[in-house]
Amino acid sequence: MVNRGKSDRKWKLRLLILLAFFSAGCSGQGEKPKDERFYEDDVTSEKEEYIVVGFAQIGSESDYRIANSASFRETFCEENGYYLLFEDGQQKQENQIKALRNFILQEVDYIVLDPVVETGWDEVLQEAKAAGIPVILSDRSVTVEDEGLYTCWVGSDFEEEGRKAGRWLEDYLKSEGREEEEIRLVTLQGTLGSSAQIGRMNGFAEVLRLHDRWNMLEYASGDFTQSKGQEVMARFLDTYPDIDVVISENDNMTFGAIEAIEEAGKTCGPKGEIIMISFDAVSEASFTAMKEGKLHADVECNPFLAPKVDEIIGRLERGETVEKIQYVEEQCFDAFMDLDAIMEQRKY
Ligand code: AHR
Protein backbone atom coordinates (compact mmCIF):
# COMPACT_ATOMS: atom_id res chain seq x y z
CA MET A 1 0.00 0.00 0.00
CA VAL A 2 1.09 3.55 -0.69
CA ASN A 3 2.13 5.41 2.45
CA ARG A 4 -0.40 8.20 2.92
CA GLY A 5 0.94 10.67 5.46
CA LYS A 6 -0.76 13.82 6.71
CA SER A 7 1.55 15.95 4.57
CA ASP A 8 -0.26 14.60 1.49
CA ARG A 9 -3.38 16.31 2.64
CA LYS A 10 -2.18 19.83 1.98
CA TRP A 11 -2.18 19.50 -1.79
CA LYS A 12 -5.16 17.17 -1.84
CA LEU A 13 -7.22 19.74 -0.01
CA ARG A 14 -6.04 22.37 -2.46
CA LEU A 15 -7.23 20.13 -5.30
CA LEU A 16 -10.61 19.45 -3.70
CA ILE A 17 -11.06 23.12 -2.95
CA LEU A 18 -10.15 24.09 -6.49
CA LEU A 19 -12.59 21.51 -7.88
CA ALA A 20 -15.35 22.87 -5.65
CA PHE A 21 -14.36 26.42 -6.66
CA PHE A 22 -14.51 25.72 -10.39
CA SER A 23 -17.65 23.60 -10.24
CA ALA A 24 -19.38 26.44 -8.42
CA GLY A 25 -18.32 28.89 -11.17
CA CYS A 26 -15.07 30.79 -10.60
CA SER A 27 -16.23 34.17 -11.89
CA GLY A 28 -15.65 35.76 -8.54
CA GLN A 29 -19.25 36.97 -8.54
CA GLY A 30 -22.09 35.84 -6.32
CA GLU A 31 -21.88 33.72 -3.20
CA LYS A 32 -18.57 32.06 -2.54
CA PRO A 33 -18.55 28.29 -2.49
CA LYS A 34 -18.29 27.11 1.09
CA ASP A 35 -15.05 25.28 0.41
CA GLU A 36 -13.34 28.38 -0.92
CA ARG A 37 -12.84 29.42 2.68
CA PHE A 38 -10.20 26.73 2.96
CA TYR A 39 -8.49 27.90 -0.21
CA GLU A 40 -8.22 31.41 1.11
CA ASP A 41 -6.72 30.22 4.36
CA ASP A 42 -3.05 29.75 4.86
CA VAL A 43 -2.55 26.08 4.08
CA THR A 44 -0.17 25.81 6.97
CA SER A 45 -3.16 26.38 9.26
CA GLU A 46 -4.94 23.56 11.09
CA LYS A 47 -7.33 23.02 8.16
CA GLU A 48 -4.77 21.04 6.25
CA GLU A 49 -5.18 18.47 9.00
CA TYR A 50 -8.67 17.49 7.83
CA ILE A 51 -9.12 13.83 7.04
CA VAL A 52 -10.85 13.56 3.68
CA VAL A 53 -13.53 10.84 3.58
CA GLY A 54 -15.49 9.87 0.49
CA PHE A 55 -18.80 8.26 1.42
CA ALA A 56 -20.67 6.33 -1.29
CA GLN A 57 -24.20 6.15 0.11
CA ILE A 58 -26.88 3.91 -1.44
CA GLY A 59 -29.70 6.42 -1.82
CA SER A 60 -32.64 7.71 0.20
CA GLU A 61 -35.08 4.83 -0.17
CA SER A 62 -36.08 4.45 3.47
CA ASP A 63 -36.29 6.02 6.92
CA TYR A 64 -33.29 3.89 7.84
CA ARG A 65 -31.30 5.46 5.00
CA ILE A 66 -32.26 9.02 5.96
CA ALA A 67 -31.13 8.37 9.55
CA ASN A 68 -27.94 6.70 8.31
CA SER A 69 -27.03 9.65 6.05
CA ALA A 70 -27.70 12.08 8.91
CA SER A 71 -25.40 10.02 11.13
CA PHE A 72 -22.56 10.39 8.58
CA ARG A 73 -23.12 14.10 7.98
CA GLU A 74 -23.18 14.81 11.72
CA THR A 75 -20.12 12.73 12.57
CA PHE A 76 -17.90 13.48 9.57
CA CYS A 77 -17.99 17.24 10.00
CA GLU A 78 -15.31 19.88 10.08
CA GLU A 79 -15.56 20.25 13.87
CA ASN A 80 -14.55 16.60 14.13
CA GLY A 81 -11.62 17.08 11.77
CA TYR A 82 -13.20 15.66 8.62
CA TYR A 83 -13.87 16.84 5.11
CA LEU A 84 -16.75 14.69 3.84
CA LEU A 85 -17.46 14.01 0.18
CA PHE A 86 -20.98 12.55 0.17
CA GLU A 87 -22.28 10.79 -2.94
CA ASP A 88 -25.86 9.50 -3.23
CA GLY A 89 -25.91 6.45 -5.53
CA GLN A 90 -29.70 6.59 -6.07
CA GLN A 91 -29.82 2.84 -5.48
CA LYS A 92 -27.68 2.13 -8.56
CA GLN A 93 -24.41 0.24 -8.36
CA GLU A 94 -23.04 1.97 -11.46
CA ASN A 95 -23.42 5.35 -9.70
CA GLN A 96 -21.61 4.03 -6.65
CA ILE A 97 -18.75 2.66 -8.75
CA LYS A 98 -18.46 6.05 -10.47
CA ALA A 99 -18.39 7.76 -7.07
CA LEU A 100 -15.61 5.44 -5.89
CA ARG A 101 -13.56 6.20 -9.01
CA ASN A 102 -13.98 9.92 -8.38
CA PHE A 103 -12.86 9.48 -4.78
CA ILE A 104 -9.79 7.63 -6.02
CA LEU A 105 -9.05 10.42 -8.52
CA GLN A 106 -9.37 12.98 -5.75
CA GLU A 107 -7.05 10.92 -3.55
CA VAL A 108 -9.30 10.92 -0.51
CA ASP A 109 -7.80 9.51 2.69
CA TYR A 110 -10.57 6.96 3.27
CA ILE A 111 -13.48 5.56 1.28
CA VAL A 112 -16.61 4.48 3.08
CA LEU A 113 -18.83 2.29 0.92
CA ASP A 114 -22.40 1.22 1.64
CA PRO A 115 -22.83 -1.20 -1.26
CA VAL A 116 -26.30 -1.48 -2.75
CA VAL A 117 -25.68 -5.14 -3.66
CA GLU A 118 -22.98 -7.59 -2.60
CA THR A 119 -21.37 -8.58 -5.90
CA GLY A 120 -19.55 -6.69 -8.66
CA TRP A 121 -17.06 -4.72 -6.57
CA ASP A 122 -13.76 -6.55 -7.19
CA GLU A 123 -12.44 -4.29 -9.92
CA VAL A 124 -13.10 -0.92 -8.36
CA LEU A 125 -11.91 -2.10 -4.94
CA GLN A 126 -8.70 -3.28 -6.57
CA GLU A 127 -8.29 0.23 -7.98
CA ALA A 128 -8.75 1.71 -4.49
CA LYS A 129 -6.23 -0.74 -3.08
CA ALA A 130 -3.70 0.09 -5.80
CA ALA A 131 -4.14 3.78 -4.93
CA GLY A 132 -3.49 2.95 -1.25
CA ILE A 133 -6.91 4.13 -0.06
CA PRO A 134 -8.43 2.07 2.75
CA VAL A 135 -12.07 1.11 2.13
CA ILE A 136 -14.43 0.70 5.07
CA LEU A 137 -17.74 -1.01 4.36
CA SER A 138 -20.68 0.35 6.25
CA ASP A 139 -24.18 -1.13 6.72
CA ARG A 140 -24.15 -3.65 3.84
CA SER A 141 -21.23 -5.80 2.78
CA VAL A 142 -19.63 -7.18 -0.40
CA THR A 143 -18.74 -10.63 -1.72
CA VAL A 144 -15.28 -10.40 -3.27
CA GLU A 145 -12.57 -12.90 -4.22
CA ASP A 146 -10.02 -11.24 -1.96
CA GLU A 147 -11.24 -10.04 1.43
CA GLY A 148 -8.11 -7.90 1.64
CA LEU A 149 -9.78 -5.50 -0.79
CA TYR A 150 -11.52 -3.81 2.13
CA THR A 151 -10.27 -2.94 5.59
CA CYS A 152 -13.35 -3.85 7.59
CA TRP A 153 -17.14 -3.94 7.66
CA VAL A 154 -19.32 -2.18 10.23
CA GLY A 155 -22.98 -3.08 10.14
CA SER A 156 -25.85 -5.26 11.24
CA ASP A 157 -25.87 -9.01 11.63
CA PHE A 158 -28.62 -9.38 9.04
CA GLU A 159 -28.87 -13.16 9.41
CA GLU A 160 -29.40 -12.79 13.13
CA GLU A 161 -32.11 -10.21 12.40
CA GLY A 162 -33.86 -12.80 10.22
CA ARG A 163 -33.53 -15.45 12.94
CA LYS A 164 -34.94 -13.03 15.51
CA ALA A 165 -38.02 -12.54 13.31
CA GLY A 166 -38.43 -16.31 12.95
CA ARG A 167 -38.03 -16.97 16.66
CA TRP A 168 -40.47 -14.20 17.46
CA LEU A 169 -43.08 -15.82 15.20
CA GLU A 170 -42.45 -19.23 16.78
CA ASP A 171 -43.02 -17.84 20.27
CA TYR A 172 -46.05 -15.84 19.24
CA LEU A 173 -47.83 -18.74 17.53
CA LYS A 174 -47.10 -20.86 20.59
CA SER A 175 -48.52 -18.22 22.91
CA GLU A 176 -51.67 -18.16 20.75
CA GLY A 177 -51.96 -21.94 20.79
CA ARG A 178 -51.49 -22.08 17.00
CA GLU A 179 -48.41 -24.35 16.76
CA GLU A 180 -50.39 -27.10 15.08
CA GLU A 181 -52.03 -24.84 12.49
CA GLU A 182 -51.07 -24.56 8.83
CA ILE A 183 -49.50 -21.10 8.51
CA ARG A 184 -49.33 -19.34 5.12
CA LEU A 185 -46.61 -16.73 4.78
CA VAL A 186 -45.42 -14.25 2.17
CA THR A 187 -42.18 -12.24 2.17
CA LEU A 188 -41.70 -8.72 0.89
CA GLN A 189 -38.01 -8.71 0.07
CA GLY A 190 -35.69 -5.74 -0.01
CA THR A 191 -33.33 -4.96 -2.90
CA LEU A 192 -32.39 -8.33 -4.36
CA GLY A 193 -28.74 -9.18 -3.88
CA SER A 194 -28.25 -6.73 -0.99
CA SER A 195 -26.79 -7.97 2.29
CA ALA A 196 -29.90 -6.89 4.18
CA GLN A 197 -32.16 -8.91 1.86
CA ILE A 198 -29.93 -11.99 1.66
CA GLY A 199 -29.16 -12.07 5.38
CA ARG A 200 -32.72 -11.56 6.59
CA MET A 201 -34.09 -14.12 4.16
CA ASN A 202 -31.48 -16.74 5.09
CA GLY A 203 -31.81 -16.12 8.82
CA PHE A 204 -35.59 -16.43 8.70
CA ALA A 205 -35.31 -19.52 6.46
CA GLU A 206 -33.30 -21.29 9.19
CA VAL A 207 -36.34 -21.09 11.48
CA LEU A 208 -38.79 -21.71 8.63
CA ARG A 209 -37.10 -25.05 7.89
CA LEU A 210 -37.88 -26.20 11.43
CA HIS A 211 -41.62 -25.88 10.83
CA ASP A 212 -43.35 -28.24 8.41
CA ARG A 213 -46.60 -26.38 8.85
CA TRP A 214 -45.19 -23.02 7.80
CA ASN A 215 -45.81 -22.62 4.08
CA MET A 216 -43.98 -19.74 2.37
CA LEU A 217 -46.31 -18.91 -0.52
CA GLU A 218 -44.05 -16.41 -2.28
CA TYR A 219 -41.02 -14.14 -2.00
CA ALA A 220 -41.12 -10.92 -4.06
CA SER A 221 -39.05 -7.75 -3.93
CA GLY A 222 -40.42 -4.33 -2.99
CA ASP A 223 -36.91 -2.82 -3.24
CA PHE A 224 -37.11 -1.42 0.32
CA THR A 225 -39.54 1.34 -0.77
CA GLN A 226 -43.04 2.14 0.44
CA SER A 227 -44.59 2.41 -3.04
CA LYS A 228 -43.21 -0.92 -4.24
CA GLY A 229 -44.09 -2.57 -0.94
CA GLN A 230 -47.68 -1.46 -1.41
CA GLU A 231 -47.75 -2.63 -5.03
CA VAL A 232 -46.35 -6.09 -4.26
CA MET A 233 -48.60 -6.54 -1.23
CA ALA A 234 -51.66 -5.67 -3.32
CA ARG A 235 -50.66 -8.41 -5.78
CA PHE A 236 -50.05 -10.90 -2.95
CA LEU A 237 -53.55 -10.22 -1.63
CA ASP A 238 -55.09 -10.74 -5.07
CA THR A 239 -53.20 -13.98 -5.57
CA TYR A 240 -53.50 -15.49 -2.09
CA PRO A 241 -56.78 -14.79 -0.29
CA ASP A 242 -55.70 -16.46 2.97
CA ILE A 243 -52.34 -15.00 4.03
CA ASP A 244 -51.59 -15.50 7.74
CA VAL A 245 -48.18 -13.83 8.04
CA VAL A 246 -46.31 -11.09 6.17
CA ILE A 247 -42.55 -10.88 6.62
CA SER A 248 -41.56 -7.46 5.36
CA GLU A 249 -37.82 -6.84 5.10
CA ASN A 250 -38.10 -3.15 6.01
CA ASP A 251 -40.50 -0.70 7.61
CA ASN A 252 -41.13 1.42 4.55
CA MET A 253 -42.39 -1.60 2.62
CA THR A 254 -44.43 -2.45 5.73
CA PHE A 255 -46.11 0.97 5.68
CA GLY A 256 -46.99 0.36 2.02
CA ALA A 257 -48.20 -3.16 2.79
CA ILE A 258 -50.47 -1.91 5.59
CA GLU A 259 -52.05 0.53 3.13
CA ALA A 260 -52.59 -2.26 0.58
CA ILE A 261 -54.13 -4.51 3.24
CA GLU A 262 -56.50 -1.78 4.40
CA GLU A 263 -57.41 -0.89 0.80
CA ALA A 264 -58.30 -4.54 0.25
CA GLY A 265 -60.68 -4.30 3.21
CA LYS A 266 -58.49 -6.47 5.42
CA THR A 267 -56.66 -5.83 8.68
CA CYS A 268 -53.25 -6.64 10.11
CA GLY A 269 -51.39 -6.47 13.42
CA PRO A 270 -52.56 -7.66 16.85
CA LYS A 271 -55.88 -5.90 16.28
CA GLY A 272 -56.34 -7.51 12.87
CA GLU A 273 -56.20 -10.74 10.89
CA ILE A 274 -52.72 -10.87 9.35
CA ILE A 275 -49.56 -11.21 11.45
CA MET A 276 -47.16 -8.48 10.35
CA ILE A 277 -43.41 -8.68 11.11
CA SER A 278 -41.00 -5.99 9.98
CA PHE A 279 -37.38 -4.81 10.17
CA ASP A 280 -35.72 -1.46 11.02
CA ALA A 281 -37.65 0.08 13.96
CA VAL A 282 -35.93 3.34 13.17
CA SER A 283 -38.68 5.90 12.95
CA GLU A 284 -41.47 7.01 15.20
CA ALA A 285 -43.86 5.71 12.52
CA SER A 286 -42.67 2.15 13.18
CA PHE A 287 -43.50 2.45 16.87
CA THR A 288 -46.79 4.17 16.09
CA ALA A 289 -47.78 1.25 13.83
CA MET A 290 -47.12 -1.14 16.74
CA LYS A 291 -48.94 1.10 19.22
CA GLU A 292 -51.93 1.33 16.87
CA GLY A 293 -52.05 -2.47 16.71
CA LYS A 294 -51.20 -2.71 12.98
CA LEU A 295 -47.74 -4.21 13.32
CA HIS A 296 -46.84 -7.15 15.56
CA ALA A 297 -43.06 -7.03 15.78
CA ASP A 298 -40.16 -4.98 14.46
CA VAL A 299 -36.56 -6.21 14.44
CA GLU A 300 -34.21 -3.29 14.88
CA CYS A 301 -31.64 -2.34 12.23
CA ASN A 302 -29.36 0.28 13.75
CA PRO A 303 -28.54 3.11 11.27
CA PHE A 304 -26.13 5.01 13.53
CA LEU A 305 -22.94 3.57 12.16
CA ALA A 306 -20.88 6.69 11.61
CA PRO A 307 -19.50 6.94 15.19
CA LYS A 308 -18.09 3.42 14.80
CA VAL A 309 -16.56 4.30 11.43
CA ASP A 310 -15.07 7.42 13.02
CA GLU A 311 -13.57 5.28 15.80
CA ILE A 312 -12.09 2.90 13.20
CA ILE A 313 -10.52 5.75 11.24
CA GLY A 314 -9.07 7.09 14.48
CA ARG A 315 -7.45 3.72 15.13
CA LEU A 316 -6.14 3.43 11.59
CA GLU A 317 -4.68 6.92 11.84
CA ARG A 318 -2.80 5.79 14.94
CA GLY A 319 -1.50 2.78 13.02
CA GLU A 320 -3.59 0.30 15.01
CA THR A 321 -5.28 -2.77 13.55
CA VAL A 322 -9.05 -3.07 13.46
CA GLU A 323 -11.39 -6.05 13.59
CA LYS A 324 -12.57 -7.19 10.18
CA ILE A 325 -16.27 -7.46 11.08
CA GLN A 326 -17.90 -5.19 13.63
CA TYR A 327 -21.60 -5.63 14.36
CA VAL A 328 -23.76 -3.03 16.05
CA GLU A 329 -26.18 -3.79 18.90
CA GLU A 330 -29.80 -4.39 17.95
CA GLN A 331 -33.03 -5.50 19.62
CA CYS A 332 -36.46 -6.80 18.71
CA PHE A 333 -39.58 -4.85 19.68
CA ASP A 334 -43.20 -5.93 19.68
CA ALA A 335 -46.63 -4.45 20.14
CA PHE A 336 -46.97 -6.04 23.59
CA MET A 337 -44.08 -4.10 25.15
CA ASP A 338 -44.26 -0.77 26.94
CA LEU A 339 -43.33 1.09 23.77
CA ASP A 340 -43.71 4.58 25.28
CA ALA A 341 -41.13 3.76 27.95
CA ILE A 342 -38.80 2.23 25.34
CA MET A 343 -39.08 5.27 23.10
CA GLU A 344 -38.29 7.61 25.98
CA GLN A 345 -35.09 5.73 26.78
CA ARG A 346 -33.98 5.27 23.20
CA LYS A 347 -31.13 7.34 21.88
CA TYR A 348 -32.93 7.57 18.53
O1 AHR B 1 -29.24 -2.06 4.61
C2 AHR B 1 -30.19 -1.75 5.56
C3 AHR B 1 -31.54 -1.69 4.92
O4 AHR B 1 -31.51 -0.75 3.86
C5 AHR B 1 -32.67 -1.23 5.80
O6 AHR B 1 -33.35 -2.24 6.42
C7 AHR B 1 -33.58 -0.62 4.79
O8 AHR B 1 -34.60 0.15 5.35
C9 AHR B 1 -32.61 0.11 3.96
O10 AHR B 1 -33.06 0.62 2.81
**For a pocket test of ligand 1, which of 88, 224, 247, 283 has the largest count of ligand atoms closer than 8 A to its C-beta?**
224
Backbone φ/ψ region at 143: left (φ over 0), alpha (ψ -120 to 50), beta = beta
- The rounded Å distance from CA 9 to ligand 1 centre is 34
Give CA–CA dist 300/123, Å, rounded. Answer: 33
pTM value is 0.89
For ligand 1, whether the C-beta of 139 sits within 6 Å is: yes
- What's residue 70's pLDDT? 97
Q: Distance between CA 134 and CA 121 in Å, rounded? A: 14
CB of 196 closer than 6 angstroms to any ligand 1 atom: yes
Q: pLDDT tens digits for the chain (348 residues)?
A: 444 554 455 455 555 555 554 444 433 333 333 343 333 344 334 446 899 999 999 999 999 999 999 999 999 999 999 999 999 999 999 999 999 999 999 999 999 999 999 999 999 999 999 999 999 999 999 999 999 999 999 999 999 999 999 999 999 999 999 999 999 999 999 999 999 999 999 999 999 999 999 999 999 999 999 999 999 999 999 999 999 999 999 999 999 999 999 999 999 999 999 999 999 999 899 999 999 999 999 999 999 999 999 999 999 999 999 999 999 999 999 999 999 999 998 877
HEC string for the chain: CCCCCCCHHHHHHHHHHHHHHHHCCCCCCCCCCCCHHHHHCCCCCHHHHCEEEEEEECCCCCHHHHHHHHHHHHHCCHHHCEEEEEEECCCCHHHHHHHHHHHHHCCCCEEEECCCCCCCCHHHHHHHHHCCCCEEEEECCCCCCCHHHCCEEEECCHHHHHHHHHHHHHHHHHHCCCCCCCEEEEEEECCCCCHHHHHHHHHHHHHHCCCCCEEEEEEEECCCCHHHHHHHHHHHHHHCCCCCEEEECCHHHHHHHHHHHHHCCCCECCCCCEEEEEEECCCHHHHHHHHCCCCCEEEECCCCCHHHHHHHHHHHHCCCCCCCEEECCCCEEECCCCHHHHHHHCCC
The answer, yes or no, to whether any atom of ligand 1 lies below 6 A from the CB of 61, is: yes
Take atom 3 of ligand 1 and give the residue whose Cα is closest. 196
Q: How far is the CA of 228 from the centre of ligand 1 (A)?
A: 14
Nearest to 196 by CA among 185, 208, 187, 186: 187
The verdict on the CB of residue 279 being under 6 Å from ligand 1 is yes
Ligand 1 center–CA 70 separation, angstroms: 14
Q: Which atom of ligand 1 is nearest to the CA of 301?
A: 6
Q: Say what the pLDDT of residue 73 is.
A: 98
Q: Which atom of ligand 1 is nearest to the CA of 282?
A: 8
Among 57, 60, 62, which is best to mutate for testing ligand 1, by the most ligand atoms less than 8 A from CB?
Answer: 62
What's the confidence (pLDDT) of residue 45? 45
CA of 292 to the centre of ligand 1 (A): 23
Sort 238 into a burial class: Cβ within 10 Å, 0-12 / 13-18 / 19+.
Answer: exposed
Q: How far is the CA of 197 from the centre of ligand 1 (A)?
A: 8
